[in-house]
Structure 1
Amino acid sequence: MSRAPSPPLQRHARAWVLLATALALLPLLPLLPAALTAVIATTAVSAAGVAWRRPVPLPLRLLLVAGMLAAIHWQMGSTPGRDTGCALLAAMLAIKSSELRRLRDARSLLGFALFAPFGAFLLDQGPRTLVLALLALAGALLALQHLADADTGSTPPPFPHQVRTAARLLLLAAPLALAGFWLLPRLPTPLWGLPERGSGQSGLSDTMSPGQWLDLMNDDRPALRVQFFGATPTPQDRYWRGPVLTRFDGRTWTRLPGQRRAPPPPVADSPVHWDYQVEYEATERRELVALDLPRTPPEGAMLDADYTLESARPLTALTRWRLRSSAPADFQTTLPPALRAQALQLPDGFNPRTRALAGRWRSEAGSDDEAIVRRALEWIGRDFSYTLSTPLPGRHGADEFLFDWKAGFCEHFSSAFVVLMRGAGLPARVVTGYAGGSRNRYGDYWLLRRSDAHAWAEVWLPQRGWTRIDPTAAVAPERILDTVEDRLSAAGDGGDGFDIGARWLQALQMGDWLRRHWNTMVLSFDARRQQRLLSALGIERLQPAQLIGLFAAAALLAIAAMAWTLARGERERDPLLRAWRRLERRYARIGLARPPHEPVPAWAARIAPSPAPDGLVALSRRFSDARYARSSPDLASLLRDLHRHRPQPGVRTGAPT
């Protein structure tokens, strides 16, 4: 027996399905590359517009598929990853709207569309994504209501009633979802590995090449947040050490593999120590940073011979690290010969002018290494300037920067300075990380953005060992010690300098403070915190069996509440009858319940005989006419008045006659 064909899709139902699909794409599209987002959005609108008038031919749909695949490859390459999969899902939904003909197609599209907000959580778990995902879910519920009405031929209820129904369904599901979040046992490590992103994110890397840092320096997204327990370092000490780059091929700086596998050398401690916690945003990389210098690695991280911290796993989610650091009194005062040779290495045929200048300075300074360092810093501070607008260098990058441009940013200053020092016979290397940061007055923590990324130099000096030298600070100290955010923060204390900039900074700080609380309550709720969920009640550690029992009990209660509420709705499917029953319950709470045998008009006239148009008698007459006389009143107005009505003073309490 053949199945009956699915009914055709009406215009109003099609509009609701397209709106729900657009809301489902809304959490995902901002997380994809901007150009790809524009292509997908344009394709979705064009396909829906064409399909609104007539079916889209199969050859055109295949052409759209080929075009979307080409756009994804253009923006994200051929490497598979979470972001690539999410881009394919968004592209499929954009093209799928061209196939809307029948109710079955609409339900299929809505089913696929709901994968989009869930896919967005693979790329971002922030509050914005959650709010947009809930909005998409509500849109899908409203669209399914319209499809059900279209399938049965019913007249859709008023829009406010539809919204309340969708909100009620979401609220019904909330207890079960919260029980799963708080009580479902979590594994300390994922059961299966999620693939990394196919396209790289801007962040610290273990290499530094010309132009590589431009995207990072222009990225204002948060990189890490730091809370200090005790003393706070001065601006001169707020250098956050990351990868140390020693090997140089004339263009790119890289780490030494041998240093990554060797233990850290001994360091003489200074009397000042800093105890702090770092909240690190996801980067998909393993590089960590710590105040210069970290003393011991935290659990889950490794500390190499360059005092560079590295996570054992890629940072695919928000992580927190408790650390202790102190500025060294001296750092590796005895330099191994192999490391000295690497720290003096310069490739042949590169930067002849820089090497000639360094040789002349050496001959003039003799054995005074510190005099060479001072001379270089004085020259840079006198003749150079800081800017992000620089051309890409050619073969002799240090020569072009030192003798031609005399302007650049930390990538140029640190690289050219180390080449100059090595040319003069001083072991030197590039250190990358972050510098500075701004204090959030609301949460009393420090925020470092990706644009705070910085590169400086370390020069090896006798009796002192590795010594931090920052040539960028010689020409642009405000880049390290006096940032724009610091000045705006000072202006925002109520003086004459309080202006739009200070208000803007306060809004940014409040927004980041809220985001940090979201991170604390949601994103960092891991297996360890789950096991200590009931520590305030004296239960220090919940075992997996106890968590499963608690989850089962909470889930049963939530499901029972859902079943009771839905069954009650089935018993009273008429919204008018439900509203009247609520009104009767308000009177029952003050001892004026209507006996089952008493007619509604008689009950209303007995207890509240007021002739007012909004009184109980008038409402009972309107209710009886709408329900039993089959009149055509304004149902929305009647429902609103029934919901708003409350017992008035002066009602009678006599027994029914």
Structure 2
Amino acid sequence: MTARPVADRSALLDAASRTGVLAATVVCVTPLLLQLPGQLALMLGIAGIVTALVSLRMRVPGWLRLLFSLALVATVFSLMGLRFGRDTGCALLAAMLVVKPLELNTLRDGRSLVGFALFAPFATFLLDQGPLSLSLGLAAALLALLALARLAEQESKDTRTVPHAQRAGIVLRLVAIGLPLALSAFWLFPRIATPLWGVPQRAIATPGLSDTMSPGEWLDLMNDDSPALRVVFFGDTPEATQMYWRGPVLTDFDGRTWTASRWLRHLPPAELVRGERTWDYQMDIEPTEQPFLVALEMPHATPDGIRSSWEHSLLAPRPLHSVTRWRMRSSPAIRFEAELSDYVRQNALRLPDGFNPRTVALARQWRRDAGERGDAAIVERAMRMVRDEFGYTLNTPLPGRHTADEFLFDWKQGFCEHFSSAFVVLMRAAGIPSRVVTGYAGGYRNAFGGYWVVRNSDAHAWAEVWLDGRGWVRVDPTAAVAPERIYDTLQDRAGGSVLGNLPGFVSALDLGDWLRRGWNDLVLGFDANRQRDLLKPLGGGVLGQRALIGLFGATALLALAWMLWLSARGTRQRDPLLRAWRTLGKRYARIGLGREPHEPALRWVSRIAPALDADAARALSTLTRRFVETRYAAGVGEAMPTRTLVRDLHKHRAGRRLPREPSP
């Protein structure tokens, strides 16, 4: 039976090193946990605290660590589903880092944990690239470097206590060494217009517009108060009540869910006559993981790379994974597809059989009553019914099979999802081509930046009906609800009216959003086009790829020179006595009598003394003994004052080497 090997005690982590490693790991994982779903982040955070405390007291056997790891992996998939996305991968990374402290015992374990923990702040940028994530990531990197410096001190067996300020200064010097190269790479490295590879989508969808609308699913979107887009107008600004940010158009209905038609999407854009009034604006759209863009009704032209569908909805070639900027011009439509093809008409009148019988019967009755007054009279009658009988509320139950019947005849209360869906069903049953349009309505003007913020909670759905001679016309039944019939809103449910009435609180929110917009503009929005514009003054025009690469190369060489200079300063001996001694050694090395790295000082003098004249050998021997006594025997014998010895070492010059005797 063989004995189990015992680890070298000198390789075990001391208390200070262990604390530094655990602190660096916690700060590394924190920004990643902030981007995960709240329940999962809380569970992983608690598990991390437990493992850190356990690692301070005992070693956990391997089989127990394996079971704990499997339990955390199962927890991640149970809360996030089996669909794998980049957020799932980030959650699994956080789970593994939570387990890793359980095997923290030696110096090697400490380095491994710090090295793996540094992946966490980098993974955070796959989910969020905001200033908070960057700040936490920088703090994590600094703490990781401090922990590694402490591990190096322990491994060197240096018994001296290094002050925290001195260790922090070393770390900051390392950061200062690499900072110019990092900045030159960010600003000057040639940007490409399209990514080299695709980024996996999230397993858990982020709130945002989609090409479907089902009962109840919009509540999550409308409860999200985060910005969806920020808009700057150049010139005239429309009234907030006229800001309809048009997104996906939904034409297919299965009795419960509205969906954008895959067939109609590929038709060429329909004929459109715009009014004279024009709005020129720039939008910064937050990432949505969807390819849908929004624009004021109706955009004049599509930006580069964007496709306009038949109903003039905008589609990007790939999902929006990061903040994107778009410059557009829009004008209200006077006539929108005045001639309707038979195929489009049939699609805009189609209703599934066996659904909403009361709504269908009411619509047919209205059609008979309208007589020669036509479709416009039916639309007006429906809007009058909404104004007189319906109310606005978010407190609605999930509907059953007949969604429009329950809303129009039983509830008579709801929000835009219910109003637009039931209204279009009613119009189609009356023989009027109609469809649901989704997007955002309104906006909020930020007083600091003078721009407009459209939030996810501004998500809205309205209807478009086709009228003879006018084409598609926007009709918003939700906006027709009388003010006295608005029973509750998102602000009422959130109970935020107290803080919302405080001017200082509102100003702080505006200031925070303005700073975030500046970050998006300076950092996240710096693409290939912005880089070309930045460098135009240098080249008198647009710099080519070769010129750009050359400029980056020159800047990188300057940054490398800066790194070498700082590194050389960092390796300079700070002890004046050692610095003087090494200078003396360099003088003798120039005449071929240098000291070997492993050679003690007195032995070196004994070796080279025969090659020197008597006076030089005697002076060097005296200086060397004084150096050894001062440096290594202080307190044992009486040593010479350091300042005097440093002066004498600098004044000493290498004695001439004795000429060799001629061989017989």
* Bigger shift: residues 290-299 or 357-366: 357-366
1:182 counterpart (187, 195, 200): 187
Task: Tell me the residue number matched to 1:515.
Answer: 516
Shift in alpha-carbon separation, 1:463–1:576, aligned structure 2, 3 A: farther
Following superposition, the deviation at residue 543 of structure 1 comes to 2.0
Using structure 1 for the length normalisation, give the TM-score.
0.82
Task: Tell me the residue number matched to 1:325.
Answer: 330
Task: Tell me the residue number matched to 1:99.
Answer: 103
Cα displacement string for residues 138-178 of structure 1 (whole angstroms, at most 9, x for unaligned residues): 11011112111221233342223333332222222211110
Shift in alpha-carbon separation, 1:338–1:568, aligned structure 2, 3 A: same
Using structure 2 for the length normalisation, give the TM-score.
0.82
Task: Report the Cα distance in structure 1 between the residues aligned to 2:36 and 2:175, rounded to whole angstroms.
Answer: 28
Task: Tell me the residue number matched to 1:278.
Answer: 283
Cα RMSD of the aligned pairs, angstroms, is 2.7
Q: Contact 1:285/1:315 (CA < 8 Å) preserved in 2?
A: yes
Following superposition, the deviation at residue 217 of structure 1 comes to 0.4
Following superposition, the deviation at residue 574 of structure 1 comes to 5.4
Task: Tell me the residue number matched to 2:299.
Answer: 294
Following superposition, the deviation at residue 557 of structure 1 comes to 2.0
Task: Tell me the residue number matched to 1:215.
Answer: 220
Shift in alpha-carbon separation, 1:403–1:127, aligned structure 2, 3 A: same
Task: Report the Cα distance in structure 2 between the residues aligned to 1:36 and 1:505, rounded to whole angstroms.
Answer: 31
Q: Contact 2:251/2:436 (CA < 8 Å) preserved in 1?
A: yes
Q: Contact 1:25/1:117 (CA < 8 Å) preserved in 2?
A: yes
Cα displacement string for residues 532-567 of structure 1 (whole angstroms, at most 9, x for unaligned residues): 332234532222222222222222222222222222
Cα displacement string for residues 445-490 of structure 1 (whole angstroms, at most 9, x for unaligned residues): 111111111000011111211111101111167999xx999xxxxx
Residue 435 in 1 paired to residue 441 in 2?
Answer: yes
Q: Contact 2:274/2:298 (CA < 8 Å) preserved in 1?
A: no
Task: Report the Cα distance in structure 1 between the residues aligned to 2:518 and 2:405, rounded to whole angstroms.
Answer: 48
Cα displacement string for residues 4-41 of structure 1 (whole angstroms, at most 9, x for unaligned residues): 95701112211110000011012211111111111211
Task: Report the Cα distance in structure 1 between the residues aligned to 2:537 and 2:417, rounded to whole angstroms.
Answer: 50
Following superposition, the deviation at residue 191 of structure 1 comes to 2.0
Task: Tell me the residue number matched to 2:244.
Answer: 239
Q: What SS is found at the alignment partner of 1:123?
A: coil
Q: What SS is found at the alignment partner of 1:329?
A: strand
Task: Report the Cα distance in structure 1 between the residues aligned to 2:37 and 2:393, rounded to whole angstroms.
Answer: 27
Shift in alpha-carbon separation, 1:628–1:51, aligned structure 2, 3 A: closer
Residue 148 in 1 paired to residue 152 in 2?
Answer: yes
* Partner AA of 1:520 in structure 2: D
Task: Tell me the residue number matched to 1:164.
Answer: 169
Task: Report the Cα distance in structure 1 between the residues aligned to 2:306 and 2:555, rounded to whole angstroms.
Answer: 37
Task: Tell me the residue number matched to 2:28.
Answer: 24
Q: What SS is found at the alignment partner of 2:311?
A: coil
Q: Contact 1:146/1:156 (CA < 8 Å) preserved in 2?
A: no
Cα displacement string for residues 287-318 of structure 1 (whole angstroms, at most 9, x for unaligned residues): 11011112221111111111111111211111
* Bigger shift: residues 148-157 or 31-40: 148-157
Residue 376 in 1 paired to residue 382 in 2?
Answer: yes
Q: What SS is found at the alignment partner of 2:277?
A: coil
Task: Report the Cα distance in structure 2 between the residues aligned to 1:104 and 1:437, rounded to whole angstroms.
Answer: 55
Shift in alpha-carbon separation, 1:67–1:242, aligned structure 2, 3 A: same
Q: What SS is found at the alignment partner of 2:541?
A: coil
Moved over 6 A (4+): 476-480, 575-578, 626-631
Task: Report the Cα distance in structure 1 between the residues aligned to 2:187 and 2:62, rounded to whole angstroms.
Answer: 47
Task: Tell me the residue number matched to 2:506.
Answer: 505
Task: Tell me the residue number matched to 1:408.
Answer: 414
Residue 550 in 1 paired to residue 551 in 2?
Answer: yes
Task: Report the Cα distance in structure 1 between the residues aligned to 2:363 and 2:135, rounded to whole angstroms.
Answer: 59
Cα displacement string for residues 167-206 of structure 1 (whole angstroms, at most 9, x for unaligned residues): 2222222111101111112222222222222221111000
Following superposition, the deviation at residue 420 of structure 1 comes to 1.2
Task: Tell me the residue number matched to 2:50.
Answer: 46
Q: What SS is found at the alignment partner of 1:366?
A: helix
Q: What SS is found at the alignment partner of 2:247?
A: strand
Q: Which has the larger radius of gyration?
A: 2
Shift in alpha-carbon separation, 1:199–1:476, aligned structure 2, 3 A: farther
Cα displacement string for residues 93-148 of structure 1 (whole angstroms, at most 9, x for unaligned residues): 11111110100000001011111111111111111111111000111011112111
Task: Report the Cα distance in structure 2 between the residues aligned to 1:498 and 1:351, rounded to whole angstroms.
Answer: 43
1:248 counterpart (232, 248, 253): 253
Q: What SS is found at the alignment partner of 1:242?
A: strand
Q: Contact 2:177/2:567 (CA < 8 Å) preserved in 1?
A: no
2:117 counterpart (101, 113, 120): 113
Shift in alpha-carbon separation, 1:40–1:382, aligned structure 2, 3 A: same
Shift in alpha-carbon separation, 1:151–1:418, aligned structure 2, 3 A: same
Task: Report the Cα distance in structure 1 between the residues aligned to 2:317 and 2:569, rounded to whole angstroms.
Answer: 53
Q: Contact 1:149/1:156 (CA < 8 Å) preserved in 2?
A: no
Task: Report the Cα distance in structure 1 between the residues aligned to 2:187 and 2:430, rounded to whole angstroms.
Answer: 61
Count of residue pairs the alignment pairs up: 571
* Partner AA of 2:244 in structure 1: Y
Give the unaligned 5+ runs of structure 2.
492-496, 580-629, 636-664
Task: Tell me the residue number matched to 1:567.
Answer: 568
Shift in alpha-carbon separation, 1:479–1:205, aligned structure 2, 3 A: farther
Q: Contact 2:500/2:506 (CA < 8 Å) preserved in 1?
A: no
* Partner AA of 1:221 in structure 2: S
* Bigger shift: residues 524-533 or 439-448: 524-533
Task: Tell me the residue number matched to 2:612.
Answer: none
Task: Tell me the residue number matched to 1:364.
Answer: 369
Task: Report the Cα distance in structure 2 between the residues aligned to 1:478 and 1:19, rounded to whole angstroms.
Answer: 56
Q: Contact 2:97/2:117 (CA < 8 Å) preserved in 1?
A: yes
* Partner AA of 1:61 in structure 2: R
Shift in alpha-carbon separation, 1:210–1:346, aligned structure 2, 3 A: same
Q: Contact 2:271/2:338 (CA < 8 Å) preserved in 1?
A: no
Q: Contact 2:241/2:441 (CA < 8 Å) preserved in 1?
A: no
For 1:332-351, list aligned pairs within 5 A.
332-351=337-356
Residue 70 in 1 paired to residue 74 in 2?
Answer: yes
Q: Contact 1:237/1:292 (CA < 8 Å) preserved in 2?
A: no
For 1:447-596, list aligned pairs within 5 A.
447-475=453-481, 500-573=501-574
Cα displacement string for residues 318-361 of structure 1 (whole angstroms, at most 9, x for unaligned residues): 11112121111121122111111111111111111111222222
Q: Contact 2:303/2:327 (CA < 8 Å) preserved in 1?
A: yes
2:428 counterpart (404, 422, 444): 422
Q: Contact 1:532/1:542 (CA < 8 Å) preserved in 2?
A: no
Q: Contact 1:118/1:133 (CA < 8 Å) preserved in 2?
A: yes
Shift in alpha-carbon separation, 1:565–1:575, aligned structure 2, 3 A: farther
Matched-pair identity in %: 56
Task: Report the Cα distance in structure 2 between the residues aligned to 1:477 and 1:466, rounded to whole angstroms.
Answer: 27
Q: What SS is found at the alignment partner of 2:436?
A: strand
Shift in alpha-carbon separation, 1:165–1:574, aligned structure 2, 3 A: farther
Cα displacement string for residues 597-629 of structure 1 (whole angstroms, at most 9, x for unaligned residues): xxxxxxxxxxxxxxxxxxxxxxxxxxxxx9999
Task: Tell me the residue number matched to 1:636.
Answer: none
Q: What SS is found at the alignment partner of 1:28?
A: helix
* Bigger shift: residues 60-69 or 305-314: 60-69
Q: Contact 1:457/1:469 (CA < 8 Å) preserved in 2?
A: yes
Q: Contact 1:246/1:429 (CA < 8 Å) preserved in 2?
A: yes
Shift in alpha-carbon separation, 1:411–1:60, aligned structure 2, 3 A: same
Task: Report the Cα distance in structure 1 between the residues aligned to 2:435 and 2:542, rounded to whole angstroms.
Answer: 47
Shift in alpha-carbon separation, 1:498–1:245, aligned structure 2, 3 A: closer
Following superposition, the deviation at residue 74 of structure 1 comes to 1.7
* Partner AA of 2:449 in structure 1: G
* Bigger shift: residues 434-443 or 376-385: 376-385
Task: Tell me the residue number matched to 1:132.
Answer: 136
Residue 303 in 1 paired to residue 292 in 2?
Answer: no
2:199 counterpart (184, 188, 194): 194
Following superposition, the deviation at residue 531 of structure 1 comes to 2.6
Task: Report the Cα distance in structure 2 between the residues aligned to 1:124 and 1:385, rounded to whole angstroms.
Answer: 39
Q: Contact 1:531/1:542 (CA < 8 Å) preserved in 2?
A: yes
Task: Report the Cα distance in structure 1 between the residues aligned to 2:364 and 2:7, rounded to whole angstroms.
Answer: 90
